Amino acid sequence: AQTVTQSQPEMSVQEAETVTLSCTYDTSESDYYLFWYKQPPSRQMILVIRQEAYKQQNATENRFSVNFQKAAKSFSLKISDSQLGDAAMYFCAYRSAYTDKLIFGTGTRLQVFP
């Protein structure tokens, strides 16, 4: 069975600085998709960024980028120029391309200080 692990329950960053959130996963599958979601206090889930496992190039969305290391099964999220609005819970997620099963990690709470 696949698993997703986020080893940092909480992280903090100064406004305008850069922070990296860690995510590792375990799978025997070769084709899958990886996602980072943000959950603010409203509890609405918001997609931050996604990565296809067959793509070697790391995904980038404005201030958000990932470091995807397929062999190491690592999928970290880098937030550059952090803003107060980035404060939220961040969840890493894995979706099987074979079964559509989609699972989440336990989350990292990010605090942003002015």
Partner 1 sequence: DGGITQSPKYLFRKEGQNVTLSCEQNLNHDAMYWYRQDPGQGLRLIYYSQIVNDFQKGDIAEGYSVSREKKESFPLTVTSAQKNPTAFYLCASTTDDNSPLHFGNGTRLTVT
* Angle, CA 43 vertex, CA 11 and CA 51 arms, to 5°: 65
Residue 88 binds partner 1, judged by CB under 8 A? no
Contact 10, 19 (CB under 8 A): no
Q: For residue 37, what are the β-bridge partners?
A: 47, 91
Select from 7, 60, 69, 99 the one that contacts partner 1 (CB under 8 A): 99
Residue 75 binds partner 1, judged by CB under 8 A? no
Q: Which residues inside 20-59 make contact with partner 1, applying CB under 8 A?
A: 33, 35, 37, 43-45, 47, 50, 52
Q: How many CB atoms lie within 10 A of CB 105?
A: 23
Site of interaction with partner 1 (CB under 8 A):
1, 6, 33, 35, 37, 43-45, 47, 50, 52, 91, 93, 95, 99-107
